[in-house]
């Protein structure tokens, strides 16, 4: 191995990049004082690991960086690279050429180290050159100053050079590291043993607590396995029973409504019938008075008629012929009376027939109207059924949150057991009237966001959903969410735009504590009246805000538009408004139904009255038929008698055209007509009253039955509502138990249902397990983990203790082995160097005696090295020697070390400066003698040394403060050295 070249840049006086090529053998570097040739020695020592700034002839390590000159500015970085030929792999590196680089920066003084251009540590470099003869403590790199330091240093300080020569520096470093490691190991062992002893004291109590906790958890697992199935089965059972109760309750409620409606209808009918009966009684009383008067008048007129008829019969029965004309006149009058009565009865007959037909038509029209009314009622009922179904669906969505996502519904159901759940956004804000669509569209999916008191509550909610695999939900923590508002410049533009109504957050009502949530969601949304105004406003503000219209059309940030029908959207706010409208419509339809039923009842009453009148007319019509027949017979008889008397046929048409002036008969006919009409009306009213009486009795009977039924229904409703409340409470208690005890939702608990569990037996098992759990008393569930942690820590530390003890023993053995190796190597090398030292000394001094001695022979590992030297004619006292003698002693030691152990490189900086020419020649000859095994780089002024160099470099400062190196011949070198 040898040094091939040194590359310097920015190091001390080497401002420019300089490359110095070296060859095996002796290379001399010459030059006048102050030209920077010793900086090459400093550079090599610096790269090989020198850490002392003082050794570098500076105050701080950054002093090695070129500090500038009159013509040159200071540099910020110094870098030196040593390139070694390593074909023999003398250095422990696989490369045939090894580059070692050290770089330092002025800013911060940071240093960088590289081996073969790969960044490394300083330690890597010192390890690489350790025990190679290139170490800091070796004599391979020495200067004039270190010559005297070597000879005059303390024996203990001198030892390091011999260790380097003996190749034990690596062992010494390893021993130092091993001793430090042993100290750390011993300290760690003591600490670990203290901890292990403490853990041993903790283990037994923790073990008992752990076993108790494990028993508790085992019982809890058994309890959970059984109780979850019990709770699920109970929930299923109660749910089925609740469904049955709900169905029965709905039927009872429907029956109650129908029963109440029927009672109300019957009571109304009864009151109406009683009023009509009272009215009929009053009318019959009045009519009876009129009938009595009419009958009296008929009687009076009939008596008058009887008298007239008797006179006529008397005249007819007279035998006087002179009375024939009177007889004919009376007979004609009688015939005319018979004809008049017959015509009167026929007229009444036809009138009655017409009235009967009219009543029949009215009955038919009333039936048609009743049928129409029934159809109307049926349509109203259909409409009510649809409206109620829609209402039930919307109520289900609003009350049971069926329109919300599964995760949101799960959280709301568990809100009683999860802390800090305020509710969903859609339940916490109320849009102003007319803004439901706009608010719903503005919120979109965020209407389902859940508001929580704190971020921790939100995290608990998310963990609850994860445990139960119950979907996802978005949470808005009140302590985290901050409101957002419109920038003042955009607000000013929006306010002045046509159609602008305001900011969406201004059109909702909410509690003060959620104001930041509302502002966050709605504080930056603008509201306009129409889409045209919305697009213009959005353009005015450069599409930086969302703009929403009252109809729910949207101009998004960026300018995209969203709109269309909202029919199928799930908007909670429109649902609320729709529910109000449906409720109002249902009320209107129910009122229409009542009115329709009342109208149907009125038509029914009217139909019955008309029918009764029709029946009465039929009776009158039948009677009149008999009367007309009788009057017809009377007319025929009168006609026959008239013709028999006159002996000529009677012309009834002429008689009818020339009626007699018989006011009495006309009055009598009119009186009879009035009497018969009054009788007919009284009979009709009496029949109607009787009908009303019968209906009233039937209604009274029905009302009694309805009231009795109502009491039964109301009792049934009360019982079913109590049962419903009980089942709902039982279900909620079971759900709460699942949630509180096992953090499960019902859906999640279904996964653990054991269908084969006998419910009664399982309940008994649950009670037994609960008693066993209660008997355990206080249980520390953390003891299981604590025991595992302590036990694991104990096992780990106990293992560490064993390993530390083994490591301690191994380190002590390693230290002992290294001590033995170092003693053997150091002693062997020392003896060899001592022998060579005396030989070299005698050669260099031309006689005398020199030897090396231990200061403490019994402690080879720490003993110092003393030098005894006696040049010819002098006593052996080192402090009395001259500088040249000290140099020869040091060089003797150096060459002795080289004789024992080959050093690949030796750098000598003016070490022979104090020698006389004869000793310089001896010194130079030694260099040549060892140059086949050792590469020498010599900084010198002496001709004798220069003469033995294979290669010479001259150091000059052509530019002040900047060193340049040039290859020179021997003659030029002597001139440069003497300059």
At 593-623, the pLDDT tens digits run 888 888 887 787 777 777 777 777 777 777 7
The partner residues of 112 in beta bridges, in order of sequence, read 103
At residue 336 the predicted structure's pLDDT band, cuts being 50, 70 and 90, is low
| Percent of residues, the chain, with pLDDT higher than 90 | 15
> Where is pLDDT greater, at 501 or 339?
501
With a cut of 90, say whether residue 847 has pLDDT above it: no
Neighbours of 581 (CB within 10 A): 11
In this predicted structure, which of 359-363, 425-429, 602-606, 893-897 has the lowest mean pLDDT? Answer: 602-606
Q: Kindly list the distances between the CA atom of residue 181 and the CA atoms of 124, 172, 186, 596, 811, in Å, as whole numbers in the listed order.
A: 19, 14, 8, 106, 8
Largest Cα separation within the chain, whole Å, is 235
The answer for residues whose C-beta is within 8 angstroms of residue 652's C-beta and 6 or more apart is 339, 635, 639
pLDDT of residue 568: 45
pLDDT of residue 314: 64
With a cut of 60, say whether residue 394 has pLDDT above it: yes
With a cut of 60, say whether residue 423 has pLDDT above it: yes
At residue 867 the predicted structure's pLDDT band, cuts being 50, 70 and 90, is confident
pLDDT of residue 118: 93
Per the annotation, binding residues for ATP are 32-39
pLDDT of residue 326: 62
With a cut of 70, say whether residue 217 has pLDDT above it: yes
> Where is pLDDT greater, at 46 or 671?
46
Average pLDDT of 699-714? 90
With a cut of 60, say whether residue 232 has pLDDT above it: yes
pLDDT of residue 570: 47
In this predicted structure, which of 127-141, 355-369, 520-534, 827-841 has the lowest mean pLDDT? Answer: 127-141
Q: What is the pTM of this model?
A: 0.47
The answer to whether the beta carbons of residues 906 and 935 sit under 8 Å apart is yes
Instruction: Name the token pair of 756.
Output: 């084969």
The answer to whether the beta carbons of residues 78 and 99 sit under 8 Å apart is no
Average pLDDT of 399-428? 82
Q: How far is Cα 316 from Cα 307, in angstroms, rounded to an integer? A: 14
With a cut of 90, say whether residue 527 has pLDDT above it: yes
With a cut of 50, say whether residue 111 has pLDDT above it: yes
At residue 328 the predicted structure's pLDDT band, cuts being 50, 70 and 90, is low
In this predicted structure, which of 270-274, 346-350, 549-553 has the lowest mean pLDDT? Answer: 346-350
In this predicted structure, which of 101-115, 279-293, 396-410 has the lowest mean pLDDT? Answer: 396-410
* Residue whose tokens read 């008693």: 771
Average pLDDT of 381-402? 78
At residue 316 the predicted structure's pLDDT band, cuts being 50, 70 and 90, is low
Neighbours of 485 (CB within 10 A): 12
Is the CA virtual torsion 179, 180, 182, 183 positive or negative? positive
With a cut of 70, say whether residue 654 has pLDDT above it: no
Pairing of strands 421-424, 450-452: antiparallel
The partner residues of 78 in beta bridges, in order of sequence, read 104
With a cut of 50, say whether residue 173 has pLDDT above it: yes
Per the annotation, binding residues are 32-39
The model's pLDDT over 560-578, given as tens digits with 9 standing for 90+, comes to 998 887 654 445 666 667 7
**What is the rounded average pLDDT for all residues in the chain?**
83
641 Cα distance to chain centroid: 120
At residue 474 the predicted structure's pLDDT band, cuts being 50, 70 and 90, is very high
Average pLDDT of 859-874? 85
The answer to whether the beta carbons of residues 882 and 155 sit under 8 Å apart is no
Three-state DSSP at 594 gives: helix
Instruction: Name the token pair of 383.
Output: 């409409």
Pairing of strands 962-967, 865-870: unpaired
Instruction: Name the token pair of 550.
Output: 């009252």
The model's pLDDT over 539-548, given as tens digits with 9 standing for 90+, comes to 999 899 999 9
Is the CA virtual torsion 524, 525, 529, 530 positive or negative? positive
562 Cα distance to chain centroid: 27
pLDDT of residue 871: 86
- Give domain limits for the chain: 267-392+604-705, 404-569
Q: Kindly list the distances between the CA atom of residue 910 and the CA atoms of 118, 241, 261, 466, 740, in Å, as whole numbers in the listed order.
A: 35, 113, 132, 82, 92
The partner residues of 938 in beta bridges, in order of sequence, read 28, 908
At residue 476 the predicted structure's pLDDT band, cuts being 50, 70 and 90, is very high
Instruction: Please spell the DSSP secondary structure of 75-124, one letter per residue.
Output: PSEEEEEEEEE-TT--SS-SSSEEEEEEEEETTTT-EEEEETTEEE-HHH
At residue 312 the predicted structure's pLDDT band, cuts being 50, 70 and 90, is low
> Where is pLDDT greater, at 911 or 642?
911
Q: How far is Cα 736 from Cα 714, in angstroms, rounded to an integer? A: 32
- For residues 700, 705, 709, 712, the Cα torsion angle rounded to the nearest 10 degrees is 110
Count of alpha carbons within 13 angstroms of residue 489, beta-carbon side: 4
At residue 318 the predicted structure's pLDDT band, cuts being 50, 70 and 90, is low
- CATH assignment, 404-569: 3.30.70.1620
Q: How far is Cα 596 from Cα 601, in angstroms, rounded to an integer? A: 8
Contacts by 491-499, CB closer than 8 A, 24 or more apart:
493/540, 493/541, 494/526, 494/537, 494/540, 494/541, 494/545, 497/528, 497/533, 497/536, 497/537, 497/540, 498/533, 498/536, 498/537, 499/528, 499/529, 499/530, 499/532, 499/533, 499/534, 499/536, 499/537
């Amino acid at each position: 191995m040898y040094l091939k070249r040194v590359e310097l840049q920015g190091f001390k006086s080497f401002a420019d990049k300089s490359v110095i090529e070296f060859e095996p053998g002796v290379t001399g570097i010459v030059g006048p004082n102050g030209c920077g040739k010793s900086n090459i020695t400093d550079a090599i020592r610096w790269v090989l690991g020198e850490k002392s700034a003082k050794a570098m002839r500076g105050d701080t390590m950054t002093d090695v960086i070129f500090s500038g000159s009159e013509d040159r500015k200071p540099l910020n970085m110094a870098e030196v690279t040593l390139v070694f030929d390593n074909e023999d792999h003398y250095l422990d590196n696989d490369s045939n050429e090894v580059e070692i680089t050290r770089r330092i920066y002025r800013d911060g003084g940071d240093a960088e180290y590289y081996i073969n251009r790969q960044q490394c540590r300083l330690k890597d470099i010192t390890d690489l050159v350790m025990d190679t003869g290139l170490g800091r403590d070796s004599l391979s790199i020495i200067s004039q100053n270190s010559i005297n330091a070597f000879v005059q240093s303390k024996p203990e300080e001198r030892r390091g050079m011999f260790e380097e020569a003996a190749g034990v520096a690596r062992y010494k470093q390893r021993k130092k590291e091993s001793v430090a490691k042993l100290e750390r190991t011993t300290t760690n062992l003591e600490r670990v043993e203290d901890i292990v002893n403490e853990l041993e004291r903790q283990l037994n109590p923790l073990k008992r607590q752990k076993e108790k906790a494990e028993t508790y958890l085992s019982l809890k697992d058994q309890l959970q396995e059984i109780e979850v199935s019990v709770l699920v089965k109970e929930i299923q059972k109660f749910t089925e029973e609740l469904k049955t109760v709900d169905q029965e309750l709905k039927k009872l409620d429907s029956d109650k409504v129908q029963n109440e409606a029927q009672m109300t209808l019957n009571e109304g009918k009864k009151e109406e019938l009683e009023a009509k009966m009272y009215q009929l009684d009053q009318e019959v009383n009045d009519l009876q008075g009129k009938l009595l008067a009419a009958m009296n008048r008929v009687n009076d007129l009939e008596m008058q008629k009887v008298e007239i008829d008797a006179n006529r019969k008397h005249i007819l029965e007279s035998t006087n012929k002179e009375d024939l004309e009177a007889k004919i006149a009376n007979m004609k009058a009688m015939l005319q009376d018979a004809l008049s009565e017959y015509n009167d009865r026929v007229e009444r007959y036809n009138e009655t027939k017409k009235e009967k037909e009219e009543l029949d038509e009215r009955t038919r029209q009333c039936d048609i109207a009743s049928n129409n009314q029934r159809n109307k009622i049926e349509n109203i009922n259909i409409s009510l059924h649809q409206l109620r179904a829609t209402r039930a669906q919307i109520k289900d969505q609003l009350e049971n949150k069926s329109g919300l996502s599964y995760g949101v519904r799960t959280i709301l159901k568990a809100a009683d057991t999860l802390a800090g759940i305020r509710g969903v956004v859609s339940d916490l804000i109320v849009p102003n009237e007319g803004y439901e669509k706009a608010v719903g569209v503005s919120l979109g999916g965020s209407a389902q966001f859940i508001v929580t008191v704190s971020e921790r509550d939100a995290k608990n909610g998310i963990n609850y959903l994860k445990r139960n695999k119950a979907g996802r939900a978005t949470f808005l923590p009140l302590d985290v969410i901050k409101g957002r508002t419109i920038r003042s410049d955009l607000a000013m533009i929006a306010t002045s735009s046509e159609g602008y109504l305001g900011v969406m957050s201004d059109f909702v009502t909410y509690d003060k504590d959620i104001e930041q949530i509302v502002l966050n969601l709605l504080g930056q949304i603008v509201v306009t009246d129409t889409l045209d105004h919305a697009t213009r406003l959005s353009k005015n503000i450069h599409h930086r805000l969302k703009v929403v219209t009252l109809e729910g059309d949207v101009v998004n940030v960026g300018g995209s538009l969203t709109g269309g029908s909202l029919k199928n959207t799930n908007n909670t706010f429109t649902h609320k408004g729709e529910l109000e409208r449906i409720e109002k419509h249902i009320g209107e339809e129910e009122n229409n139904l009542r009115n329709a039923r009342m109208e149907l009842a009125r038509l029914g009453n009217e139909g019955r009255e008309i029918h009764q009148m029709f029946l009465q007319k039929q009776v009158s019509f039948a009677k009149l038929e008999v009367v007309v027949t009788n009057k017809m017979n009377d007319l025929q008889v009168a006609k026959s008698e008239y013709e028999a008397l006159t002996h000529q046929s009677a012309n009834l048409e002429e008689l009818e055209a020339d009626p007699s002036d018989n006011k009495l008969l006309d009055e009598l006919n009119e009186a009879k007509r009035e009497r018969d009409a009054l009788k007919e009306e009284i009979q009709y009213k009496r029949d109607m009253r009787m009908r009303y009486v019968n209906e009233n009795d039937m209604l009274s009977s029905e009302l009694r039955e309805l009231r009795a039924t109502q009491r039964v229904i109301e009792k049934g409703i009360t019982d079913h509502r109590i049962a419903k409340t009980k089942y709902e409470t039982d279900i909620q208690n079971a759900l709460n138990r699942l949630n509180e005890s096992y953090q499960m939702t019902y859906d999640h608990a279904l996964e653990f249902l054991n269908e084969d569990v006998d419910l009664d037996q399982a309940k008994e098992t649950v009670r037994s397990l609960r008693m066993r759990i209660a008997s355990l008393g206080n249980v520390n569930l953390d003891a299981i983990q604590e025991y595992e942690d302590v036990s694991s820590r104990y096992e780990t530390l106990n293992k560490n203790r064993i390993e530390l003890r083994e490591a301690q023993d191994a380190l002590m053995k390693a230290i002992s082995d290294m001590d033995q190796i170092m003693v053997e190597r150091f002693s062997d090398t020392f003896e060899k160097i001592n022998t060579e030292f005396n030989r070299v000394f005698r050669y260099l001094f031309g006689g005398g005696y020199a030897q090396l001695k231990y200061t403490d022979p019994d402690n080879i590992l720490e003993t110092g090295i003393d030098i005894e030297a006696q040049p010819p004619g002098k006593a052996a006292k080192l402090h009395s020697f001259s500088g040249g003698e000290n140099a020869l002693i040091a060089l003797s030691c150096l060459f002795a070390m080289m004789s024992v152990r080959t050093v690949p490189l030796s750098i000598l900086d003016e070490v022979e400066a104090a020698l006389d020419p004869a000793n310089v020649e001896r010194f130079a000859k030694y260099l040549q003698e060892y140059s086949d095994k050792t590469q020498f780089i010599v900084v010198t002024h002496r001709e004798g040394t220069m003469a033995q160099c294979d290669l010479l470099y001259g150091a000059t400062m052509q530019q002040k403060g900047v060193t340049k190196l040039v290859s020179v011949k021997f003659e030029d070198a002597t001139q440069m050295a003497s300059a």
